[in-house]
Structure 1
Amino acid sequence: MAKKRASGEPWVIPGGFSVLSLQFSSSSSSRHCLYVKEHKVRAEKSKHRPLDRTLFLVNIPPYCSQVVVKGLFSQFGDIESVELRDHPGSSQESRPTISKLFRPPEKQGFKVGYIVFKSSSSLQAVKSYPFDAPLVVSTEERPVKTGVQKWIQQYSESFIQPDRLQQKVDNFMQNYDKHKEEEAERKKKEAEKQQEEDEGWVKVTRGHKGAKARPHSEAANEKTLQKEKRKKKRKELLNFYTWQHRNTQKEHIAELRKKFEEDKQRIALLRAQRKFKPY
Protein backbone atom coordinates (compact mmCIF):
# COMPACT_ATOMS: atom_id res chain seq x y z
CA MET A 1 0.00 0.00 0.00
CA ALA A 2 1.38 3.39 -1.00
CA LYS A 3 2.55 5.63 1.81
CA LYS A 4 0.57 8.85 2.16
CA ARG A 5 2.41 12.15 2.05
CA ALA A 6 2.01 14.44 5.02
CA SER A 7 0.81 17.97 4.45
CA GLY A 8 3.60 20.49 3.89
CA GLU A 9 6.19 17.91 2.79
CA PRO A 10 7.92 17.61 -0.61
CA TRP A 11 7.16 14.75 -3.01
CA VAL A 12 10.24 12.95 -4.37
CA ILE A 13 9.80 10.28 -7.05
CA PRO A 14 12.30 7.65 -8.35
CA GLY A 15 15.12 9.26 -10.31
CA GLY A 16 15.69 12.00 -7.76
CA PHE A 17 13.00 14.32 -9.17
CA SER A 18 10.98 16.51 -6.84
CA VAL A 19 7.39 17.14 -7.94
CA LEU A 20 6.08 20.72 -7.87
CA SER A 21 2.43 21.54 -8.31
CA LEU A 22 1.62 24.22 -10.88
CA GLN A 23 -1.66 26.14 -11.04
CA PHE A 24 -2.43 28.56 -13.88
CA SER A 25 -4.47 30.98 -11.74
CA SER A 26 -5.84 31.13 -8.22
CA SER A 27 -9.32 30.25 -9.53
CA SER A 28 -8.18 27.19 -11.53
CA SER A 29 -9.29 23.81 -10.28
CA SER A 30 -6.78 21.71 -12.25
CA ARG A 31 -3.08 21.46 -11.52
CA HIS A 32 0.01 20.60 -13.53
CA CYS A 33 3.11 18.75 -12.29
CA LEU A 34 6.66 19.98 -12.79
CA TYR A 35 9.59 17.63 -12.18
CA VAL A 36 12.80 19.24 -10.96
CA LYS A 37 16.19 18.00 -9.78
CA GLU A 38 19.70 19.29 -9.32
CA HIS A 39 21.68 19.38 -12.56
CA LYS A 40 24.50 16.85 -12.20
CA VAL A 41 26.22 15.85 -15.43
CA ARG A 42 29.87 14.80 -15.33
CA ALA A 43 30.45 15.64 -18.98
CA GLU A 44 29.06 19.16 -18.51
CA LYS A 45 31.95 21.62 -18.94
CA SER A 46 29.90 24.74 -19.52
CA LYS A 47 30.52 27.77 -17.32
CA HIS A 48 26.89 28.77 -17.92
CA ARG A 49 25.62 25.77 -15.95
CA PRO A 50 27.57 25.41 -12.69
CA LEU A 51 26.79 22.03 -11.18
CA ASP A 52 26.15 23.38 -7.67
CA ARG A 53 23.68 26.13 -8.69
CA THR A 54 21.75 24.75 -11.69
CA LEU A 55 18.21 23.34 -11.51
CA PHE A 56 16.91 20.99 -14.21
CA LEU A 57 13.16 21.13 -15.03
CA VAL A 58 10.99 18.72 -17.02
CA ASN A 59 7.39 18.95 -18.30
CA ILE A 60 7.22 22.73 -18.62
CA PRO A 61 3.83 23.61 -20.22
CA PRO A 62 3.64 25.75 -23.40
CA TYR A 63 2.12 28.76 -21.62
CA CYS A 64 5.22 29.10 -19.41
CA SER A 65 7.69 31.31 -21.24
CA GLN A 66 11.20 32.14 -20.10
CA VAL A 67 9.92 35.25 -18.30
CA VAL A 68 7.14 33.28 -16.59
CA VAL A 69 9.54 30.57 -15.37
CA LYS A 70 11.90 33.21 -14.00
CA GLY A 71 9.00 34.90 -12.17
CA LEU A 72 7.80 31.60 -10.68
CA PHE A 73 11.19 30.54 -9.28
CA SER A 74 12.47 33.96 -8.23
CA GLN A 75 10.77 33.41 -4.87
CA PHE A 76 13.42 30.78 -4.06
CA GLY A 77 16.33 33.16 -4.63
CA ASP A 78 18.05 35.44 -7.12
CA ILE A 79 18.24 33.93 -10.61
CA GLU A 80 21.25 34.33 -12.86
CA SER A 81 19.83 32.83 -16.08
CA VAL A 82 16.92 30.76 -17.45
CA GLU A 83 17.18 28.50 -20.51
CA LEU A 84 14.25 26.64 -22.12
CA ARG A 85 14.81 23.94 -24.75
CA ASP A 86 12.86 21.30 -26.65
CA HIS A 87 15.21 18.52 -25.52
CA PRO A 88 17.92 18.26 -22.84
CA GLY A 89 21.47 18.68 -24.04
CA SER A 90 24.74 20.52 -23.68
CA SER A 91 24.92 24.27 -23.45
CA GLN A 92 25.16 26.36 -26.63
CA GLU A 93 27.54 28.96 -25.18
CA SER A 94 30.11 28.41 -27.96
CA ARG A 95 27.66 29.47 -30.66
CA PRO A 96 27.13 33.16 -31.42
CA THR A 97 23.96 34.72 -30.07
CA ILE A 98 21.39 35.17 -32.85
CA SER A 99 18.49 37.56 -32.70
CA LYS A 100 15.02 36.02 -32.59
CA LEU A 101 14.29 37.80 -35.91
CA PHE A 102 16.68 35.37 -37.66
CA ARG A 103 15.68 32.25 -35.78
CA PRO A 104 12.92 29.88 -36.96
CA PRO A 105 9.68 29.98 -34.97
CA GLU A 106 9.82 27.98 -31.77
CA LYS A 107 7.85 24.78 -31.45
CA GLN A 108 4.77 25.05 -29.28
CA GLY A 109 4.93 22.19 -26.84
CA PHE A 110 6.26 20.99 -23.51
CA LYS A 111 9.88 21.91 -22.82
CA VAL A 112 12.77 21.27 -20.47
CA GLY A 113 14.62 24.03 -18.69
CA TYR A 114 17.79 24.99 -16.84
CA ILE A 115 17.66 27.62 -14.08
CA VAL A 116 20.94 28.96 -12.69
CA PHE A 117 20.59 30.51 -9.23
CA LYS A 118 23.10 32.90 -7.71
CA SER A 119 23.21 30.84 -4.51
CA SER A 120 23.33 27.06 -4.03
CA SER A 121 20.88 27.31 -1.11
CA SER A 122 18.10 28.11 -3.60
CA LEU A 123 18.30 24.55 -4.95
CA GLN A 124 17.57 23.10 -1.53
CA ALA A 125 14.66 25.52 -1.13
CA VAL A 126 13.12 24.29 -4.42
CA LYS A 127 13.60 20.59 -3.61
CA SER A 128 12.08 20.98 -0.14
CA TYR A 129 9.06 22.96 -1.38
CA PRO A 130 5.78 21.21 -0.41
CA PHE A 131 3.72 19.61 -3.16
CA ASP A 132 0.37 20.77 -1.76
CA ALA A 133 1.35 24.46 -2.14
CA PRO A 134 0.97 25.11 -5.87
CA LEU A 135 2.91 27.74 -7.79
CA VAL A 136 0.52 30.20 -9.44
CA VAL A 137 1.46 31.14 -13.01
CA SER A 138 -0.84 34.07 -13.77
CA THR A 139 -1.33 36.69 -11.06
CA GLU A 140 -2.34 40.34 -10.97
CA GLU A 141 1.33 41.38 -10.76
CA ARG A 142 2.39 39.19 -13.71
CA PRO A 143 -0.61 38.26 -15.90
CA VAL A 144 -0.14 35.61 -18.60
CA LYS A 145 -2.20 35.92 -21.78
CA THR A 146 -3.87 32.89 -23.31
CA GLY A 147 -6.39 32.13 -26.03
CA VAL A 148 -7.45 34.99 -28.30
CA GLN A 149 -5.46 37.59 -26.37
CA LYS A 150 -2.28 35.56 -26.87
CA TRP A 151 -2.98 35.15 -30.60
CA ILE A 152 -3.54 38.91 -30.99
CA GLN A 153 -0.25 39.61 -29.21
CA GLN A 154 1.64 37.13 -31.38
CA TYR A 155 0.11 38.62 -34.53
CA SER A 156 1.11 42.14 -33.49
CA GLU A 157 4.65 41.06 -32.68
CA SER A 158 5.00 39.32 -36.06
CA PHE A 159 5.29 42.70 -37.80
CA ILE A 160 8.85 44.01 -37.80
CA GLN A 161 9.64 47.71 -38.16
CA PRO A 162 12.15 48.39 -41.00
CA ASP A 163 14.44 50.58 -38.86
CA ARG A 164 14.55 47.95 -36.12
CA LEU A 165 15.31 45.22 -38.63
CA GLN A 166 18.09 47.31 -40.21
CA GLN A 167 19.64 47.91 -36.80
CA LYS A 168 19.58 44.19 -36.01
CA VAL A 169 21.20 43.36 -39.37
CA ASP A 170 23.92 45.98 -38.89
CA ASN A 171 24.74 44.73 -35.40
CA PHE A 172 24.83 41.14 -36.62
CA MET A 173 27.21 41.97 -39.48
CA GLN A 174 29.48 44.00 -37.20
CA ASN A 175 29.74 41.12 -34.74
CA TYR A 176 30.31 38.69 -37.62
CA ASP A 177 33.13 40.79 -39.11
CA LYS A 178 34.70 41.22 -35.68
CA HIS A 179 34.55 37.48 -35.06
CA LYS A 180 36.16 36.77 -38.46
CA GLU A 181 38.99 39.25 -37.80
CA GLU A 182 39.70 37.75 -34.38
CA GLU A 183 39.69 34.25 -35.85
CA ALA A 184 42.09 35.27 -38.64
CA GLU A 185 44.41 36.99 -36.17
CA ARG A 186 44.41 33.95 -33.92
CA LYS A 187 45.25 31.60 -36.82
CA LYS A 188 48.04 33.95 -37.94
CA LYS A 189 49.62 33.97 -34.48
CA GLU A 190 49.38 30.19 -34.25
CA ALA A 191 51.04 29.78 -37.66
CA GLU A 192 53.88 32.17 -36.68
CA LYS A 193 54.39 30.37 -33.39
CA GLN A 194 54.47 26.99 -35.12
CA GLN A 195 56.98 28.25 -37.67
CA GLU A 196 59.22 29.63 -34.91
CA GLU A 197 59.15 26.30 -33.10
CA ASP A 198 59.96 24.36 -36.27
CA GLU A 199 62.82 26.60 -37.39
CA GLY A 200 64.16 27.50 -33.97
CA TRP A 201 63.96 31.23 -34.67
CA VAL A 202 62.76 33.83 -32.20
CA LYS A 203 60.76 36.71 -33.64
CA VAL A 204 61.86 40.14 -32.41
CA THR A 205 59.25 42.90 -32.61
CA ARG A 206 59.71 46.59 -32.07
CA GLY A 207 58.10 47.95 -28.93
CA HIS A 208 56.49 51.30 -28.35
CA LYS A 209 58.39 54.49 -28.99
CA GLY A 210 61.15 55.15 -26.49
CA ALA A 211 61.33 51.56 -25.26
CA LYS A 212 64.80 50.06 -24.92
CA ALA A 213 65.61 46.75 -26.54
CA ARG A 214 65.96 44.03 -23.95
CA PRO A 215 68.79 41.48 -24.33
CA HIS A 216 67.95 37.81 -24.56
CA SER A 217 67.59 36.27 -21.12
CA GLU A 218 69.57 33.25 -20.05
CA ALA A 219 66.41 31.16 -19.91
CA ALA A 220 65.53 32.07 -23.51
CA ASN A 221 69.02 31.17 -24.71
CA GLU A 222 68.88 27.87 -22.85
CA LYS A 223 65.50 27.11 -24.41
CA THR A 224 66.89 27.78 -27.89
CA LEU A 225 69.88 25.51 -27.25
CA GLN A 226 67.60 22.72 -26.06
CA LYS A 227 65.54 23.02 -29.27
CA GLU A 228 68.69 22.80 -31.39
CA LYS A 229 69.85 19.72 -29.46
CA ARG A 230 66.51 18.00 -29.97
CA LYS A 231 66.58 18.77 -33.71
CA LYS A 232 70.14 17.44 -34.00
CA LYS A 233 69.23 14.29 -32.08
CA ARG A 234 66.20 13.65 -34.30
CA LYS A 235 68.37 14.13 -37.40
CA GLU A 236 71.00 11.69 -36.12
CA LEU A 237 68.34 9.15 -35.28
CA LEU A 238 66.82 9.52 -38.75
CA ASN A 239 70.23 9.06 -40.39
CA PHE A 240 70.88 5.97 -38.29
CA TYR A 241 67.59 4.39 -39.37
CA THR A 242 68.38 5.24 -43.01
CA TRP A 243 71.83 3.62 -42.77
CA GLN A 244 70.38 0.56 -41.00
CA HIS A 245 67.76 0.12 -43.72
CA ARG A 246 70.34 0.45 -46.48
CA ASN A 247 72.68 -2.02 -44.77
CA THR A 248 69.83 -4.52 -44.37
CA GLN A 249 69.05 -4.29 -48.08
CA LYS A 250 72.69 -4.96 -48.98
CA GLU A 251 72.82 -8.03 -46.75
CA HIS A 252 69.60 -9.35 -48.24
CA ILE A 253 70.93 -8.94 -51.82
CA ALA A 254 74.19 -10.72 -50.89
CA GLU A 255 72.24 -13.60 -49.37
CA LEU A 256 70.16 -13.95 -52.55
CA ARG A 257 73.28 -14.04 -54.74
CA LYS A 258 74.90 -16.68 -52.54
CA LYS A 259 71.79 -18.84 -52.72
CA PHE A 260 71.66 -18.41 -56.51
CA GLU A 261 75.25 -19.67 -56.90
CA GLU A 262 74.54 -22.68 -54.67
CA ASP A 263 71.49 -23.57 -56.77
CA LYS A 264 73.57 -23.38 -59.98
CA GLN A 265 76.17 -25.76 -58.58
CA ARG A 266 73.51 -28.22 -57.41
CA ILE A 267 71.86 -28.26 -60.88
CA ALA A 268 75.23 -28.84 -62.61
CA LEU A 269 75.96 -31.77 -60.26
CA LEU A 270 72.61 -33.38 -60.96
CA ARG A 271 73.16 -33.11 -64.71
CA ALA A 272 76.60 -34.76 -64.44
CA GLN A 273 75.22 -37.68 -62.47
CA ARG A 274 72.39 -38.36 -64.86
CA LYS A 275 72.77 -41.71 -66.82
CA PHE A 276 70.81 -43.43 -69.62
CA LYS A 277 69.22 -46.70 -68.33
CA PRO A 278 66.82 -48.23 -70.91
CA TYR A 279 66.42 -51.48 -68.89
Structure 2
Amino acid sequence: MAPSGRKHAKSQPRIIPGGFSVLPIQFDSDSATQHTLYIKEHKVRAEKTSRRPLDRTLFVLNIPPYCSEAVIRDLFSQFGSVQSVELRDHPGSSHESELKLSKLFTPASKQGFKVGYIVFQNSSGIAAAKKHDYDVPLVVSTEQHPVKTGVQKWIQEYKESFIQPDNLQEIVDSFMQDYDKRKEEEAERQKKEAEQQEEDEEGWVKVTRGQKGTKARPHSEAANKRTLQKEMRKKKRKELMNFYTWQHRNTQKEHIAELRKKFEEDKQKIALLRAQRKFRPY
Protein backbone atom coordinates (compact mmCIF):
# COMPACT_ATOMS: atom_id res chain seq x y z
CA MET A 1 0.00 0.00 0.00
CA ALA A 2 2.28 2.68 -1.25
CA PRO A 3 1.54 6.40 -1.31
CA SER A 4 2.44 8.77 -4.07
CA GLY A 5 6.05 9.75 -4.77
CA ARG A 6 5.55 13.18 -3.19
CA LYS A 7 7.28 13.85 0.09
CA HIS A 8 5.31 14.71 3.20
CA ALA A 9 7.30 17.91 3.64
CA LYS A 10 5.78 19.32 0.46
CA SER A 11 2.27 18.11 1.21
CA GLN A 12 -0.78 20.32 1.45
CA PRO A 13 -3.16 18.92 4.07
CA ARG A 14 -6.80 19.94 4.36
CA ILE A 15 -8.35 20.70 7.75
CA ILE A 16 -12.10 20.74 8.36
CA PRO A 17 -14.05 22.15 11.34
CA GLY A 18 -13.51 20.10 14.47
CA GLY A 19 -9.78 19.82 13.95
CA PHE A 20 -10.00 16.77 11.65
CA SER A 21 -7.56 16.33 8.78
CA VAL A 22 -8.92 14.87 5.56
CA LEU A 23 -7.12 11.74 4.35
CA PRO A 24 -8.31 10.44 0.94
CA ILE A 25 -8.02 6.74 0.03
CA GLN A 26 -8.96 4.66 -3.01
CA PHE A 27 -9.43 0.93 -3.21
CA ASP A 28 -6.86 0.29 -5.97
CA SER A 29 -4.86 2.25 -8.50
CA ASP A 30 -7.56 1.80 -11.18
CA SER A 31 -10.43 3.10 -9.04
CA ALA A 32 -12.15 6.19 -10.37
CA THR A 33 -13.71 7.10 -7.02
CA GLN A 34 -12.15 7.98 -3.70
CA HIS A 35 -13.13 7.55 -0.08
CA THR A 36 -12.38 10.04 2.67
CA LEU A 37 -11.05 9.32 6.14
CA TYR A 38 -11.06 11.93 8.90
CA ILE A 39 -8.13 11.76 11.30
CA LYS A 40 -7.37 13.59 14.50
CA GLU A 41 -5.00 13.19 17.42
CA HIS A 42 -6.71 11.35 20.27
CA LYS A 43 -6.85 13.67 23.31
CA VAL A 44 -9.50 12.36 25.69
CA ARG A 45 -7.88 12.92 29.08
CA ALA A 46 -10.81 11.44 30.96
CA GLU A 47 -9.93 8.07 29.44
CA LYS A 48 -7.12 6.67 31.55
CA THR A 49 -5.80 3.61 29.73
CA SER A 50 -2.38 2.46 28.62
CA ARG A 51 -3.79 1.11 25.37
CA ARG A 52 -4.35 4.61 23.96
CA PRO A 53 -1.52 6.94 25.02
CA LEU A 54 -2.48 10.57 24.47
CA ASP A 55 0.66 11.54 22.58
CA ARG A 56 0.81 8.58 20.17
CA THR A 57 -2.83 7.69 19.35
CA LEU A 58 -4.57 8.71 16.11
CA PHE A 59 -8.38 8.77 16.00
CA VAL A 60 -9.86 7.82 12.59
CA LEU A 61 -13.46 8.21 11.40
CA ASN A 62 -15.36 6.78 8.41
CA ILE A 63 -13.35 3.56 7.96
CA PRO A 64 -15.04 1.46 5.22
CA PRO A 65 -16.09 -2.16 5.87
CA TYR A 66 -13.43 -3.65 3.59
CA CYS A 67 -10.65 -2.22 5.80
CA SER A 68 -9.73 -4.68 8.53
CA GLU A 69 -7.25 -4.04 11.33
CA ALA A 70 -4.49 -5.60 9.23
CA VAL A 71 -5.38 -3.37 6.27
CA ILE A 72 -5.39 -0.24 8.44
CA ARG A 73 -2.04 -1.24 9.94
CA ASP A 74 -0.48 -1.62 6.47
CA LEU A 75 -2.13 1.58 5.27
CA PHE A 76 -0.79 3.78 8.08
CA SER A 77 2.57 2.06 8.52
CA GLN A 78 4.00 4.36 5.83
CA PHE A 79 3.71 7.26 8.31
CA GLY A 80 5.56 5.41 11.05
CA SER A 81 5.82 2.16 12.92
CA VAL A 82 2.35 1.13 14.14
CA GLN A 83 2.12 -0.41 17.59
CA SER A 84 -1.56 -1.39 17.63
CA VAL A 85 -4.84 -0.89 15.75
CA GLU A 86 -8.31 -1.00 17.32
CA LEU A 87 -11.54 -0.81 15.32
CA ARG A 88 -14.89 -0.15 17.00
CA ASP A 89 -18.48 0.38 15.88
CA HIS A 90 -18.63 3.78 17.58
CA PRO A 91 -16.32 6.00 19.62
CA GLY A 92 -16.01 5.11 23.25
CA SER A 93 -13.77 4.13 26.08
CA SER A 94 -11.62 1.06 25.89
CA HIS A 95 -12.96 -1.93 27.84
CA GLU A 96 -10.46 -4.70 28.36
CA SER A 97 -12.41 -7.88 28.89
CA GLU A 98 -11.19 -10.07 31.75
CA LEU A 99 -12.35 -13.20 29.94
CA LYS A 100 -11.15 -13.46 26.36
CA LEU A 101 -13.25 -16.07 24.61
CA SER A 102 -12.26 -18.00 21.54
CA LYS A 103 -13.50 -16.84 18.16
CA LEU A 104 -15.71 -19.95 18.14
CA PHE A 105 -17.76 -18.56 21.03
CA THR A 106 -17.95 -14.91 20.01
CA PRO A 107 -20.63 -13.55 17.65
CA ALA A 108 -19.68 -12.18 14.27
CA SER A 109 -18.79 -8.51 14.21
CA LYS A 110 -21.24 -6.03 12.73
CA GLN A 111 -20.43 -5.02 9.16
CA GLY A 112 -20.41 -1.30 8.51
CA PHE A 113 -18.34 1.84 8.76
CA LYS A 114 -16.16 1.95 11.85
CA VAL A 115 -13.95 4.23 13.88
CA GLY A 116 -10.35 3.39 14.66
CA TYR A 117 -7.62 4.08 17.20
CA ILE A 118 -4.11 3.75 15.77
CA VAL A 119 -1.20 3.79 18.20
CA PHE A 120 2.21 4.65 16.71
CA GLN A 121 5.57 3.79 18.20
CA ASN A 122 6.54 7.48 18.00
CA SER A 123 4.48 10.66 18.03
CA SER A 124 6.00 11.65 14.67
CA GLY A 125 3.64 9.18 12.97
CA ILE A 126 0.64 11.33 13.89
CA ALA A 127 2.25 14.47 12.49
CA ALA A 128 3.18 12.68 9.25
CA ALA A 129 -0.38 11.38 8.76
CA LYS A 130 -1.92 14.82 9.39
CA LYS A 131 0.47 16.46 6.87
CA HIS A 132 -0.30 14.06 4.04
CA ASP A 133 -1.20 15.73 0.74
CA TYR A 134 -4.96 15.85 0.15
CA ASP A 135 -4.49 15.43 -3.62
CA VAL A 136 -2.58 12.14 -3.24
CA PRO A 137 -4.92 9.34 -2.09
CA LEU A 138 -3.62 6.27 -0.33
CA VAL A 139 -4.10 2.98 -2.20
CA VAL A 140 -5.68 0.22 -0.12
CA SER A 141 -5.26 -2.85 -2.34
CA THR A 142 -1.90 -3.34 -4.09
CA GLU A 143 -0.08 -6.25 -5.65
CA GLN A 144 1.97 -6.75 -2.49
CA HIS A 145 -1.07 -6.49 -0.19
CA PRO A 146 -4.24 -7.44 -2.10
CA VAL A 147 -7.58 -6.88 -0.37
CA LYS A 148 -10.53 -9.06 -1.32
CA THR A 149 -14.09 -7.76 -1.45
CA GLY A 150 -17.47 -8.95 -2.60
CA VAL A 151 -17.86 -12.63 -3.51
CA GLN A 152 -14.14 -13.31 -3.19
CA LYS A 153 -14.15 -12.04 0.40
CA TRP A 154 -17.24 -14.12 1.21
CA ILE A 155 -15.63 -17.28 -0.23
CA GLN A 156 -12.45 -16.65 1.78
CA GLU A 157 -14.38 -16.12 5.02
CA TYR A 158 -16.48 -19.21 4.31
CA LYS A 159 -13.38 -21.38 3.85
CA GLU A 160 -11.74 -19.93 6.97
CA SER A 161 -14.87 -20.72 9.01
CA PHE A 162 -14.12 -24.44 8.80
CA ILE A 163 -11.79 -25.87 11.40
CA GLN A 164 -10.11 -29.25 11.69
CA PRO A 165 -11.49 -31.56 14.41
CA ASP A 166 -8.08 -31.86 16.07
CA ASN A 167 -7.68 -28.09 16.27
CA LEU A 168 -11.23 -27.72 17.54
CA GLN A 169 -10.64 -30.32 20.26
CA GLU A 170 -7.45 -28.55 21.30
CA ILE A 171 -9.24 -25.19 21.56
CA VAL A 172 -12.10 -26.69 23.57
CA ASP A 173 -9.73 -28.51 25.94
CA SER A 174 -7.74 -25.34 26.53
CA PHE A 175 -10.90 -23.36 27.20
CA MET A 176 -12.24 -25.95 29.66
CA GLN A 177 -8.91 -26.09 31.50
CA ASP A 178 -8.97 -22.34 31.99
CA TYR A 179 -12.62 -22.52 33.08
CA ASP A 180 -11.93 -25.26 35.65
CA LYS A 181 -8.97 -23.33 36.97
CA ARG A 182 -11.09 -20.19 37.45
CA LYS A 183 -13.82 -22.20 39.21
CA GLU A 184 -11.28 -23.76 41.60
CA GLU A 185 -9.80 -20.37 42.41
CA GLU A 186 -13.28 -18.95 43.05
CA ALA A 187 -14.20 -21.89 45.32
CA GLU A 188 -10.95 -21.52 47.24
CA ARG A 189 -11.54 -17.79 47.68
CA GLN A 190 -15.09 -18.34 48.95
CA LYS A 191 -13.85 -20.99 51.36
CA LYS A 192 -11.26 -18.63 52.80
CA GLU A 193 -13.84 -15.86 53.16
CA ALA A 194 -16.23 -18.25 54.94
CA GLU A 195 -13.49 -19.26 57.38
CA GLN A 196 -12.66 -15.63 58.08
CA GLN A 197 -16.33 -14.78 58.67
CA GLU A 198 -16.85 -17.50 61.28
CA GLU A 199 -17.40 -16.19 64.79
CA ASP A 200 -14.88 -16.96 67.50
CA GLU A 201 -15.52 -18.37 71.00
CA GLU A 202 -16.71 -15.01 72.35
CA GLY A 203 -19.17 -14.50 69.53
CA TRP A 204 -17.13 -11.93 67.60
CA VAL A 205 -17.15 -12.00 63.81
CA LYS A 206 -14.16 -10.86 61.81
CA VAL A 207 -15.33 -8.68 58.92
CA THR A 208 -12.96 -8.61 55.96
CA ARG A 209 -12.98 -6.46 52.88
CA GLY A 210 -13.92 -8.17 49.63
CA GLN A 211 -11.93 -8.11 46.43
CA LYS A 212 -11.73 -4.84 44.55
CA GLY A 213 -14.41 -4.53 41.90
CA THR A 214 -16.63 -7.36 43.19
CA LYS A 215 -20.32 -6.64 43.45
CA ALA A 216 -22.28 -7.33 46.63
CA ARG A 217 -24.64 -10.29 46.35
CA PRO A 218 -28.30 -9.53 47.16
CA HIS A 219 -29.60 -11.34 50.27
CA SER A 220 -32.24 -13.95 49.50
CA GLU A 221 -35.24 -14.63 51.73
CA ALA A 222 -33.77 -17.94 52.89
CA ALA A 223 -30.47 -16.29 53.78
CA ASN A 224 -32.26 -13.57 55.75
CA LYS A 225 -34.28 -16.20 57.62
CA ARG A 226 -31.17 -18.16 58.54
CA THR A 227 -29.48 -14.99 59.76
CA LEU A 228 -32.51 -14.08 61.90
CA GLN A 229 -32.65 -17.56 63.46
CA LYS A 230 -28.95 -17.39 64.20
CA GLU A 231 -29.37 -14.03 65.95
CA MET A 232 -32.29 -15.37 68.02
CA ARG A 233 -30.27 -18.39 69.17
CA LYS A 234 -27.37 -16.14 70.07
CA LYS A 235 -29.69 -13.85 72.04
CA LYS A 236 -31.20 -16.77 73.95
CA ARG A 237 -27.77 -18.03 74.90
CA LYS A 238 -26.69 -14.68 76.29
CA GLU A 239 -29.94 -13.72 78.00
CA LEU A 240 -31.04 -15.19 81.38
CA MET A 241 -34.81 -15.10 81.53
CA ASN A 242 -36.42 -13.92 84.85
CA PHE A 243 -33.07 -13.64 86.57
CA TYR A 244 -34.18 -10.61 88.60
CA THR A 245 -37.38 -10.17 90.65
CA TRP A 246 -38.52 -7.16 88.64
CA GLN A 247 -38.19 -9.22 85.44
CA HIS A 248 -40.51 -11.83 86.93
CA ARG A 249 -43.04 -9.15 88.00
CA ASN A 250 -43.01 -7.56 84.56
CA THR A 251 -43.59 -10.92 82.94
CA GLN A 252 -46.58 -11.58 85.20
CA LYS A 253 -48.03 -8.13 84.50
CA GLU A 254 -47.72 -8.64 80.78
CA HIS A 255 -49.37 -12.05 81.07
CA ILE A 256 -52.29 -10.65 83.14
CA ALA A 257 -52.77 -7.76 80.70
CA GLU A 258 -52.88 -10.22 77.80
CA LEU A 259 -55.50 -12.35 79.61
CA ARG A 260 -57.68 -9.29 80.36
CA LYS A 261 -57.51 -8.19 76.75
CA LYS A 262 -58.53 -11.62 75.56
CA PHE A 263 -61.38 -11.70 78.15
CA GLU A 264 -62.80 -8.40 76.89
CA GLU A 265 -62.63 -9.62 73.30
CA ASP A 266 -64.50 -12.82 74.25
CA LYS A 267 -67.23 -10.79 76.05
CA GLN A 268 -67.80 -8.70 72.96
CA LYS A 269 -68.06 -11.82 70.79
CA ILE A 270 -70.62 -13.40 73.16
CA ALA A 271 -72.72 -10.21 73.24
CA LEU A 272 -72.71 -10.07 69.46
CA LEU A 273 -73.83 -13.70 69.19
CA ARG A 274 -76.69 -13.13 71.69
CA ALA A 275 -77.89 -10.08 69.78
CA GLN A 276 -77.96 -12.04 66.52
CA ARG A 277 -79.98 -14.91 68.05
CA LYS A 278 -82.69 -12.63 69.60
CA PHE A 279 -86.25 -13.33 68.33
CA ARG A 280 -87.91 -10.29 66.71
CA PRO A 281 -91.32 -11.11 65.18
CA TYR A 282 -92.15 -7.46 64.23
Alignment of 1:201-216 (within 5 A): none
Task: Tell me which residue corresponds to 1:87.
Answer: 90
Change beyond 3 A, Cα 1:174–1:79:
farther
2:151 is equivalent to residue 153 of structure 1? no
Task: Tell me which residue corresponds to 1:10.
Answer: 13
The residue type equivalent to 1:13 in the other structure is I
Give the C-alpha shift of residue 78 in structure 1. 1.3
Task: Tell me which residue corresponds to 2:30.
Answer: 27
2:32 is equivalent to residue 53 of structure 1? no
What CA distance in whole angstroms lies between the structure 1 residues aligned with 2:99 and 2:57?
A: 22
Task: Tell me which residue corresponds to 2:72.
Answer: 69
What CA distance in whole angstroms lies between the structure 1 residues aligned with 2:20 and 2:61?
A: 9
Q: Deviations over 1:6-61 (max 9, x none)?
A: x8311111111111001100111100000111111122112111111111111000
Give the C-alpha shift of residue 131 in structure 1. 1.2
What CA distance in whole angstroms lies between the structure 2 residues aligned with 1:187 and 1:34?
A: 51
2:64 is equivalent to residue 37 of structure 1? no
Q: Which residue of 139, 163, 170 corresponds with 2:166?
A: 163
The residue type equivalent to 1:128 in the other structure is K
Task: Tell me which residue corresponds to 1:139.
Answer: 142
Alignment of 1:243-262 (within 5 A): none
Q: Deviations over 1:211-262 (max 9, x none)?
A: xxxxxxxxxxxxxxxxxxxxxxxxxxxxxxxxxxxxxxxxxxxxxxxxxxxx
Task: Tell me which residue corresponds to 1:212.
Answer: none
What CA distance in whole angstroms lies between the structure 2 residues aligned with 1:193 and 1:12?
A: 62
TM-score (norm 1): 0.62
Give the C-alpha shift of residue 160 in structure 1. 2.4
Q: Which residue of 161, 176, 179 corresponds with 1:176?
A: 179
How many percent of aligned residue pairs carry the same amino acid? 68
Secondary structure of the residue aligned to 2:50 is coil
What CA distance in whole angstroms lies between the structure 1 residues aligned with 2:48 and 2:191?
A: 28
Give the C-alpha shift of residue 188 in structure 1. 7.2
Residues 23 and 135, structure 1, Cα contact 8 Å, conserved in 2: yes
| Aligned-CA RMSD value | 2.6
What CA distance in whole angstroms lies between the structure 2 residues aligned with 1:199 and 1:144?
A: 63
The residue type equivalent to 2:145 in the other structure is R
Structure 2: runs of 5 or more not aligned = 1-9, 199-204, 208-282
Task: Give the number of aligned pairs.
Answer: 193
Structure 1: runs of 5 or more not aligned = 1-6, 201-279
Secondary structure of the residue aligned to 2:71 is helix
Residues 48 and 93, structure 1, Cα contact 8 Å, conserved in 2: no
Give the C-alpha shift of residue 182 in structure 1. 5.0
Change beyond 3 A, Cα 1:88–1:191:
farther
The residue type equivalent to 1:157 in the other structure is E
